[in-house]
Structure formats: structure tokens, C-alpha cells
Amino acid sequence: MSLLVPTSLFPIDIKYVETKLKNGLTGIIVIEDEDKDSLKKYEGRIQELHTQWQQPGWKENNEVVRESLIWDEFRGVRDVDFYLYREKVINRYLKSWDITDDKKQPVPCTPENIARLDIQVATGLVSKFLARNVPSEEELKN
């Protein structure tokens, strides 16, 4: 195993279902692989978004954290704004996807288009990215 971060991209995929909400709008439900009930409930309707991400190195990670700091007036300290951090993470490390428009033309993976992602999809992608790049307590014990 190399101690240097690879330059190749790695995949993160999201399963989802488009559904009609009570208010008449179309909504997205993200389906986790472990959620066997939802996988069965929505069988035949599940779609998948395929994305490619850059793995952060030491410098990039520090820059994202630094750019996510805000001044907490009440406590008198600088703290990470988690919402800003998630935005920085997805804009910095999400490099490509297979989203197409209504005419089946590829939609470029740009900060403007990332900002248009459904909230559930964006949150799911960032959560999977962080889970992959931040070791769990169990992993740290090994």
C-alpha cells in the first residue's frame, strides 16, 4: 500500500427512486443497499446514479477544512460549519457523474449543476464520501 494518495478517481453510486409526493411534486428517495425492505418495495423502479470522486490528500483536506471555518461569536472560537464543509467537499472532490437531461444529453458536473442536485441525493453522496475517507472507530482499532 502506498502512503501517497492515488491520482485515480473512485466510484460512489447512489440508488434512488423518483416518487410523487403528497403535494403533487416529484421527490427522490435514496435507497441504502442495506435497506432490504425498500429494495423490495421499489423493485423495478430503482435507478442508480454513478459518480467518480477524487481522494483527498493532506493539503486538499486541510484547505477544505480551513475554508469551512466560521467565527462563533457566542463561544469566541473558530469552528467548522458542517453545511459549508459538505458544500466544499462535494464541489472539490466530485469529478464526474452520469446525469443526463431530458434529451439524454450529458449534464456537466460543475458547481452550478452540483448546486441543483436533489437534497437527498447530495446528502447521500457526501455521506458515502465521508464514510469512505474518514476511518471509523472500529477501523482505527486495527
pTM of the model: 0.86
User: Following DSSP, what letter does each residue of 14-46 receive, concatenated?
Assistant: EEEEEEE-TTS-EEEEEE-TT-HHHHHHTTTT-
Within-domain flag for 19: yes
Residue 3 lies in a domain: no
Position 123 in a domain: yes
Q: Which domain holds residue 14?
A: 10-132
Is the residue at 64 inside a domain?
yes
* 67 located within any domain: yes
- Is 14 a member of any domain? yes
Residue 5 lies in a domain: no
Q: What residue type is assigned to position 89 of the chain? A: V
In a domain, 87, yes or no: yes
Tens digit of each residue's pLDDT (9 = 90 or more) over 39-70 = 999 999 999 999 999 999 999 999 999 999 99
Confidence check: pLDDT of 124 > 90: yes
- Using CA atoms, how far apart are residues 11 and 26, in angstroms rounded to an integer? 27
Mean pLDDT, the chain, as a whole number? 91
pLDDT of 141 strictly over 70: no
Query: What total of structural domains would you count in the chain?
Result: 1
